[in-house]
Amino acid sequence: MRTRILLATLLVAAFSYGQEFNFKELNTKGRQLMFTKPDSAIVYLKKGMQEAERIKAHDTIFGDLYHLYGIRDLMLNKFDSGIIYFKKAAEYNKSCPDKQVRAFCNIALCYRNLGEFDKSIKQLNEILNSGKQTEKTLAIVYGELASNYMQKFQNEKAINSLLKAIDVLKKMNDDSEVYPIKQKLANIYMLQGNYEFAIDLYDDCIAGFKKRGDNKNLSYTYLNKAESLIQLNKLDEAKENLNLSIKWLKEYQDISVLGVAYSKIGHIEAREGNEAEALASYEYAMENLSASNSPYIIRVGMEYINHLNRNKKYKKSLVVIDQVKESEAYKSINLEDKMYFLQAMADTYKFTGSYKKATDNYTEAITLKDSIATMDKENALNEIQGKLQNEIQREKNIALANSNKALEEKITKNKIIIWLSIIGSLIIIILILTILRSAKLKNRLQKEALRTIAAEKNLMEQQSQYDKEIYEAQKERIKEKQRELTSSALRMANLQDSINEIINKCLRKEMININDVRKELQLLTKQKDYWKQFETRFNQVHPDFNHLLAEKFDNLTKNDLEFCSLLKLNLTNKEIASLLQISHESVITKKYRIKKKMNIQEDVDFEKVIMEI
């Protein structure tokens, strides 16, 4: 009722017959209504647009109206139409750079909410490069960049952007924009596991947003604070904050974030053993996320699937899998989310008996994990190089500061000497200058010697670290190849077991029909040649083993060399017997014959020769 009265009052004040159009009042009061009842603001905006067209208002008035349209759609999570309105606002505000930059900032915000983080970052960098931004919009740009970097898990870049934003706001003495920046900073601390400190920052933000009347940001802060409380196992307090968040999210019809909030409720109910309430909350969360094409549907869906699998509701898990895969967000899913989602799908397929699908998903998840690990290593290397450059620069700055200090001291001494020279004689002046010149030269030579020693020491430390990293990487790679060889050897053994099983079935007359035998053999022929694959991988790890062994003992046959390859992998006699489909005694006999060919008596000496080649 109070909102309707406010709306009616605004309409009468702005558009009464015969009254002059007052856009400043419309803009101010329209924004107030926008942040409290965005649905009701549409009538007000339409009236404002009609009046602006009637009096043929200036372009900036149209620009501000379109900007208000965009803000309304942004508040209602209609990001695609919001982008259209903000682009129109930017076009009409060409003559007012500050307003144009604000429109561009909101375009970037819409892109981020759509999950198009690279587009958002590109838009923000274009604003920085344009040089048109004021100090306030500069802080907003840095804050928005930080939000994008957080979504891309680039926390260091996010922190740097936030620190730049805070620095700008401190220079402006503007506390009003500090709270959104603090909120983003708290989000990073939460992601890094520093939950207690994050909660302290969230409490500051809650007080600030309440003071500003910024209820939408208030709802987001309650939600993030609840996540930190869940991690600290403070479930009752977390549920209270979630309910406060849901109240405002429903008010703004923010069904995307509302879905996230209900997924957190579902998580808490599950931990408290309230299975029916947990399932209902997860289901309602998925409905909202699906309806809003939210990018959060991936992670919430994954969490829901895992919960259903734990409770053996596998058919419902399959439905949720299809629901996520049909969403728009799945088309642009990031590597990390895809890896975890593939694992959840693989678990479901395994429990439902779809072993082929489960294997394919596990394989793809492992491949993605390796790709992410490679990217992390490259990022870590770049980070180390950056830190090293920063350290070198810091040392240069220290040296420069010391040099400046020495120069200042020298100037002071020179002034004293000049003053004394007026009183003293010319001979004393010359003597002092000579001594100073000699001391300066000696000091310079000493500094040069110290810098040379420091540089050589630094270079040696870097070389040592580099050699150590190369050695560790090679060592890890050899271990990985060794594991792959062992796995390949075991798969070869399984193939041999399968063939023997078919033979035994035929001998036991369990398999009489020739067609059954043919089908079994055809299935085996479709599998890979594991011995050849084993030989290839073995040569990758130990490329010179067979060549060196044959060269050293030229009387060894190809079968002898293949047998020695298995010994090189530290396989037991029992494992070798299973792999070659021979008896344990045959393995011992084979080993004895090879030792005899190599003219070696003791097993210890034989194993030493094999391992050292």
Q: Which CATH number belongs to the domain containing residue 560 in this structure?
A: 1.10.10.10
> What separation in angstroms does the CA of 71 have from each of 35, 43, 61, 126, 161?
9, 15, 15, 21, 24
Cα–Cα distance, 202 to 183 (Å, whole number): 6
The answer to whether residue 554 is domain-embedded is yes
Residues 6+ apart with CB under 8 A from 465: none
Cα–Cα distance, 254 to 38 (Å, whole number): 11
Q: Give the model's pLDDT for residue 10.
A: 33
Cα–Cα distance, 471 to 378 (Å, whole number): 17
The answer to whether residue 603 is domain-embedded is yes
Q: Give the model's pLDDT for residue 412.
A: 82
Cα–Cα distance, 518 to 321 (Å, whole number): 38
Residues 6+ apart with CB under 8 A from 136: 172, 174, 177
The answer to whether residue 214 is domain-embedded is no
The answer to whether residue 587 is domain-embedded is yes
The answer to whether residue 597 is domain-embedded is yes
Distance from the first to the final alpha carbon of the chain? 89
The answer to whether residue 542 is domain-embedded is yes
Residue 369, Ramachandran bin (φ over 0: left; ψ between -120 and 50: alpha; else beta): alpha
Number of domains making up the chain? 1
Averaged pLDDT, groups of 10, the chain, 613 residues long: 34 36 62 61 76 83 85 80 89 85 88 86 86 76 84 80 79 72 82 86 88 85 91 91 89 84 90 88 88 84 88 88 84 79 86 86 80 53 41 50 71 82 83 88 86 84 81 70 60 67 77 73 59 70 85 89 86 81 87 91 88 84
The answer to whether residue 605 is domain-embedded is yes
Q: Name the pTM for this structure.
A: 0.47
State the number of CA atoms in the 13 A half-sphere of 60 facing the CB.
Answer: 10
Residues 6+ apart with CB under 8 A from 420: 428, 432
Cβ-count burial 63-90 (b if 16+ within 10 Å, e if not): bbbbbbbbbbbbbbbbbeebbbbbbbbb
Q: Give the model's pLDDT for residue 533.
A: 61
Residue 286, Ramachandran bin (φ over 0: left; ψ between -120 and 50: alpha; else beta): alpha
Residues 6+ apart with CB under 8 A from 105: 124, 127, 137, 140, 141, 144
Q: How many CB atoms lie within 10 A of CB 311?
A: 14
Whose CA is closest to 67, among 84, 51, 44, 43? 84
Cα–Cα distance, 496 to 507 (Å, whole number): 17
The answer to whether residue 534 is domain-embedded is yes
Residue 425, Ramachandran bin (φ over 0: left; ψ between -120 and 50: alpha; else beta): beta
Q: Give the model's pLDDT for residue 526.
A: 53
Yes or no: say if 74 and 82 are a contact pair by the CB < 8 Å rule: yes
Q: Give the model's pLDDT for residue 390.
A: 44
Cα–Cα distance, 87 to 71 (Å, whole number): 12
Q: What is the DSSP letter of 330?
A: G
Counting every residue written for the chain, the total comes to: 613
Q: What is the CA radius of gyration of the chain?
A: 37
Cα–Cα distance, 204 to 178 (Å, whole number): 10
Structural domain of 551: 495-612
For residue 132, which amino acid is it?
Answer: K
